[in-house]
Amino acid sequence: MFEITATLLKIFFFILIFVFNTAALLTWVERKQSALMQDRVGANRATIFGLRVFGLFHIAADSLKMFFKEDYRPQGAEKFLFSFAPGLGMFFATVAFAAIPFADTLIVGGKEVVMQVASLNVGILYVFALMSMAVYGVVLGSWASNNNYALIGGLRASAQMISYEVAIGVSIIGVLMVYQSVDLQHIVRAQGELWFGWLPKWGLFVQPIGFLLFLTTGIAESKRIPFDAPEGESEIIGYHVEFSSMRFGMYFLTDLIETVLIGAITVTLFLGGWQVPYLMPDGFHFPWGTTLELSNLTVTILQFLSFSLKIAVLMWFMMIIRWTLPRFRYDQVMFLGWKILLPVALANIVITAAVILLLE
């Protein structure tokens, strides 16, 4: 009973509260950050009792608009798949977070609670499998729309997923070779070791090329600019052209959830996950010999805040890319995936293997 209760609380806190609210907040961040970059004010019109709060109420306004807009279904659409597909993509993107560790271990009543919804020893394989399945929602929705332009968007999404799924999988092999595990919690704990007594053994430092490859392919997997060929508003309108109301809202929110997922995986594999430099289970142990004892609850909170802050920084960086680079042509997307990123990722495996062999 204790384990079931702990699991339900982790699902509620991490997935329903943290993930969904972070994705919703990105709708505001996207507008305000683009406004700052373009010297504009940005979203600031939605008010409650005269309060604007930097435009944050636009999140609620968007939600209400999605709920109450007309729910349109085109003639000739496949009824079941047209209704089912938007939720399918969101489901796979959401449950992938179950294997992401957001802190180490919390002790409650003498019992240890691992801060991970599902403690899987094949965590990274689970996450990648569900990331691959999310494209089914796009493909089925585009086909069910009975719209040729939507179908083109769905075909682009499937081709892009296949192309970059290969590169993103190969890009993390170096990390797995270094840390000798596919368990995400084990990988994060291994990044707490120190080089030269002061430098954390984060994936960013042991696999810098892998980090750049993973971040690039991750943005492509989330179908965000400059890799938004499946949408291509100025070309084909996109795979969700026939969707309205909350069906479109689910597609829109799924894109943002996938963005948070890519950020969470990047943090977990390359930025130390929940690790805080020099923070051990009993408190801080600084290289110069100073120690600061902390309670288990305080340490867990600091770890979660570290995890959240790293994701926030990555979201900020990904939004900068989104509002800086123009959309790639579809042939450029394929060229980059197959002829540049994949060969570099393969070369990175060879170099990593050679270095590991020489250091042994």
Question: What's CA 35's distance to the chain center, in Å?
Answer: 23
Q: Does a structural domain hold residue 154?
A: yes
* Nearest alpha-carbon partner for 274 in 184, 345, 211: 184
Residue 60 lies in a domain: no
Q: Which of 68-72, 79-83, 253-257, 264-268 has the lowest mean pLDDT?
A: 68-72
Tokens of 252: 């829109």
The answer to whether residue 278 is domain-embedded is: yes
| 58 domain residue, yes or no | no
The model's pLDDT over 68-113, given as tens digits with 9 standing for 90+, comes to 888 888 888 888 999 899 999 899 999 999 999 999 989 888 888 8
- pLDDT for 265 beyond 90: yes
Share of the chain above pLDDT 90, in %: 49
Cα dihedral across residues 222, 230, 81, 23: positive or negative: positive
What residue type is 358 in one-letter code?
L
Give tens-digit pLDDT for 196-221: 878 899 999 999 999 999 999 999 98
- The CA distance from 328 to 188, in Å, is 34
Rounded-to-integer distance, Cα 258 and Cα 303, Å: 22
Confidence of residue 18 (pLDDT cuts 50, 70, 90): very high
Per the domain annotation, does 312 fall within a domain? yes
Instruction: Provide the domain limits for residue 257.
Output: 74-359
Rounded Cα distance, 99 and 95, in Å: 8
Residues above pLDDT 70, as percent of the chain? 100
Burial class (CB in 10 A: 0-12, 13-18, 19+), 81: middle
pLDDT value at position 69? 87
The 10 Å Cβ neighbour count of residue 136 is 17
Cα torsion through 47, 48, 49, 50, rounded to 10:
-20
pLDDT interval class at 44 (50, 70, 90) = confident
39 domain-assigned: no
All residues at 6 or more sequence positions from 202 whose CB lies less than 8 Å from its CB, including other chains: 191, 270, 271, 272, 275
Residue 84 resides in a domain: yes
Does pLDDT of 360 surpass 80? no
d(CA 28, CA 331): 32
- In this prediction, residue 343 carries a pLDDT of 95
Contacts of residues 23-28 at CB distance under 8 Å and 24 or more positions apart, as own/partner, are 23/253, 23/256, 23/257, 23/259, 23/260, 24/59, 24/63, 24/253, 24/256, 25/59, 26/256, 26/259, 26/260, 26/315, 26/319, 27/58, 27/59, 27/62, 27/256, 28/55, 28/56, 28/58, 28/59
pTM for this prediction: 0.93
Q: How confident is the model at residue 350 (pLDDT cuts 50, 70, 90)?
A: very high
Residue 237 has pLDDT above 80, yes or no: no
- What is the per-residue pLDDT for 123? 86
> Closest Cα to residue 322, out of 270, 256, 264?
256
- Show the tokens assigned to 205: 């430092």
200: β partners: 194
The residues that bridge with 199 in the sheet, in sequence order, are 195
Mean pLDDT over 30-44 rounds to 88
Whether residue 349 lies inside any domain: the answer is yes
Average confidence score pLDDT of the chain: 90
Asked whether the bond before 226 is cis by omega within 30 degrees of 0, the reply is yes
pLDDT band for 175, please (50, 70, 90 cuts).
Answer: very high
Residue 231 banded pLDDT, cuts 50, 70, 90: confident
* Beta carbons within 8 Å of 48's beta carbon, 6+ residues apart: 57, 60
**Domains held by the chain: number:** 1
Residue range 214-239: average pLDDT?
Answer: 86
Q: What is the pLDDT of residue 103?
A: 92
pLDDT at 352: 94
- In this prediction, residue 94 carries a pLDDT of 93
**Structure confidence at residue 298 as a pLDDT band (50, 70, 90):** very high
Per the listing, tokens 């092999």 go with: 173
